[in-house]
């Protein structure tokens, strides 16, 4: 957590718990962001592999519908979704 000993011993238990909760939320948020980035990147790389004759790529409708069709959006999220971005790229091919 990066607290100095003097600061740690000057805290009340309630203050320490509040700091601990804040650090935990920050770490959890960072982990979720990195997990989402990894999912998008792996899905994107997998879908850029060209199909060979007689071999069909697996489709992951449960992943793409659940992940890209999620209703969870932030208020500042006025950019296009990754699914729309990939559809535009596919349309150009």
CA–CA separation, 39 and 63 (whole Å): 9
**Rounded Cα distance, 69 and 71, in Å:** 6
57's CB contacts (< 8 A; 6+ apart) are: 46, 47, 49, 51
- Please choose, from the candidates 49, 48, 47, 90, the residue with its C-alpha nearest in 3D space to the C-alpha of residue 67: 47
Rounded mean pLDDT of 51-56? Answer: 68
Q: Tell whether the model's pLDDT for residue 70 goes beyond 60.
A: no
Q: For the chain, list the strands marked E by DSSP.
A: none
The torsion angle over the Cα atoms of residues 17, 34, 62 and 79, rounded to 10 degrees, is 100
Residue range 13-46, pLDDT digits in tens:
999 999 999 999 999 888 888 888 887 787 778 7
């Amino acid at each position: 957590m990066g607290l100095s000993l003097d600061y740690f011993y000057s805290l009340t238990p309630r203050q320490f718990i509040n700091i601990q909760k804040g650090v935990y939320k920050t770490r959890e948020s960072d982990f979720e962001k990195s997990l989402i980035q990894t999912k998008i990147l792996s899905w994107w790389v997998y879908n850029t592999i060209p199909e060979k004759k007689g071999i069909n790529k697996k489709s992951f409708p449960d992943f793409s519908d659940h992940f890209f069709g999620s209703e969870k959006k932030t208020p500042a999220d006025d950019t296009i979704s990754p699914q729309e971005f990939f559809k535009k790229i596919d349309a150009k091919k």
